[in-house]
Amino acid sequence: MGPQRRMGIYVGYESPSIIRFLEPLTGDLFTARFADCHFDETVFPPLGGDKNVTVPDERRELTWNVPTMSHLDPRTAQCDNEVRRILDLQSVAQNMPDAFSDLAKVTRSHIPAANVPARIDVPVGRIVPDGRGTTMAANQSHVSAHKRGRPLGSKDSYPRKRVKPAQTNPLDIAISTDPSHEIIPDYGSVLEETTLGDAPTFEPTLENREISINYACLSEIWNRNEIIIDDIFVFAVATEIITSDDVEPRSVDECQRRDDWPKWKEAIQVELDSLTKRKVFGPVVPTPRHVKPVGFKWVFVRKRNEGNEIVRYKARLVAQGFSQRPGIDYDETYSPVMDVITFRYLISLAISEKLNIQLMDVVTAYLYGDLDTEIYMKVPEGLKIPDTNSSRPRNTLSIRLRRSLYGLKQSGRMWYNRLSEYLIGMGYVNNELCPCVFIKKTSSGFVIVAVYVDDMNLIGTPEEIKETAKHLKSEFEMKDLGRTNYCLGLELEHRADGILLHQSNYIQKMLRRFNEDKAKPSSTPMVIRSLDPKKDPFRPADNNEEILAPEVPYLSAIGALLYLTQCTRPDISFSVNLLARYSSAPTRRHWNGIKDIFRYLRGTIDMGLFYPYASRNGSNPLDPQNDARLVGYADAGYLSDPHKARSQTGYVFTIGNTAISWRSTKQTLVATSSNHAEILALHEAVRECIWLRAITKHVQSTCGLHSTTDEPTTIHEDNAACIEQMKTGFIKGDNTKHIAPKFFFNQQQQEHQKIEVKQIRSEDNRADLFTKSLPKSTFQKHVQGIGLRKLSELPNM
Which DSSP string do the residues of 235-248 spell out, in sequence order? HHHHHHHHT-SSPP
What percentage of the chain reaches a pLDDT higher than 90?
Answer: 44
Facing residues of 128 across strands? 136
**Confidence check: pLDDT of 621 > 90:** no
Q: Give the gyration radius of the chain's Cα atoms.
A: 33
> What's the pLDDT score for residue 359?
95
The pLDDT-based confidence of 75 (bands split at 50, 70, 90) is low
- The end-to-end CA distance of the chain, in Å, is 76
Q: Are 19 and 151 in contact (CB under 8 A)?
A: yes
Instruction: Assign domain 620-797 to its CATH architecture.
Output: 2-Layer Sandwich (3.30)
Q: Report d(CA 475, CA 444) in Å as an integer.
A: 23
> What global pTM score does this model have?
0.72
SS3 (DSSP) at 414: helix
Q: Are 242 and 236 in contact (CB under 8 A)?
A: no
Residue 340, H or E segment: helix 340-353
Sheet holding 788-790, edge to edge: 486-487, 490-495, 498-502, 607-612, 788-790
Facing residues of 632 across strands? 653, 715
SS3 (DSSP) at 184: coil
For 561-592, b where at least 16 C-beta lie within 10 A, e where not — what string?
bbbbbbbbbbbbbbbbbbbbbbbbbbbebbbe
Q: Which residue has the higher pLDDT, 765 or 246?
A: 765
Q: Are 733 and 692 in contact (CB under 8 A)?
A: no
What percentage of the chain reaches a pLDDT higher than 70?
Answer: 76
Q: For residue 91, which of 65, 113, 122, 112 has the smallest C-alpha distance?
A: 113
Q: Report d(CA 458, CA 442) in Å as an integer.
A: 15
Q: Mean pLDDT throughout 127-134?
A: 44
- Going by their DSSP bridges, the two strands 713-717 and 630-641 should be labelled as parallel
Q: Report d(CA 238, CA 568) in Å as an integer.
A: 14
Tell me: the pLDDT tens digits for 534-585? 888 999 999 888 999 888 999 999 999 999 999 999 999 999 999 999 999 9
Supply the angle between the helices 504-513 and 588-603 in degrees, to the nearest 10.
140
> What's the pLDDT score for residue 480?
92
Q: What is the DSSP letter of 533?
A: G
Facing residues of 298 across strands? 317
**Confidence check: pLDDT of 614 > 70:** no
> What's the pLDDT score for residue 200?
38
Tell me: the pLDDT tens digits for 686-698? 999 999 999 999 9
> What's the pLDDT score for residue 445?
92
Q: Report d(CA 42, CA 639) in Å as an integer.
A: 52
**Confidence check: pLDDT of 103 > 80:** no
Q: Which residue has the higher pLDDT, 600 or 739?
A: 600
* Residue 332 vs residues 231, 402, 412, 413, 423: alpha-carbon distances, Å: 21, 18, 10, 8, 22
Q: What is the DSSP letter of 185?
A: -
The pLDDT-based confidence of 184 (bands split at 50, 70, 90) is very low
In 585-735 the beta strands, taken as DSSP E runs, fall at: 607-612, 630-641, 646-655, 658-666, 713-717
Phi, psi for 102 (deg, rounded to 5)? -155, 125
**Range from 27-31, 63-67, 748-752 carrying the lowest mean pLDDT:** 63-67
Q: What is the DSSP letter of 548?
A: P
777-781 LR contacts (CB < 8 Å, sep 24+): 779/523, 779/524, 779/571, 780/523
Q: Are 103 and 89 in contact (CB under 8 A)?
A: no
**Confidence check: pLDDT of 63 > 50:** no
- Residue-level length of the chain: 797
What mean pLDDT value characterizes the chain? 80
**Confidence check: pLDDT of 610 > 50:** yes
Phi, psi for 592 (deg, rounded to 5)? -65, -35
Looking at the chain, the domain(s) classified CATH 3.30.420.10 span 620-797
Q: Are 264 and 313 in contact (CB under 8 A)?
A: yes
| 562: Cα within 13 Å, side-chain hemisphere | 25
Facing residues of 684 across strands? none
**Confidence check: pLDDT of 617 > 60:** no
* Residue 377 vs residues 279, 280, 299, 437, 527: alpha-carbon distances, Å: 15, 11, 16, 34, 56
> What's the pLDDT score for residue 308?
74
Name the range with the highest mean pLDDT among 86-95, 179-188, 738-747: 738-747
Q: Mean pLDDT throughout 269-294?
A: 88
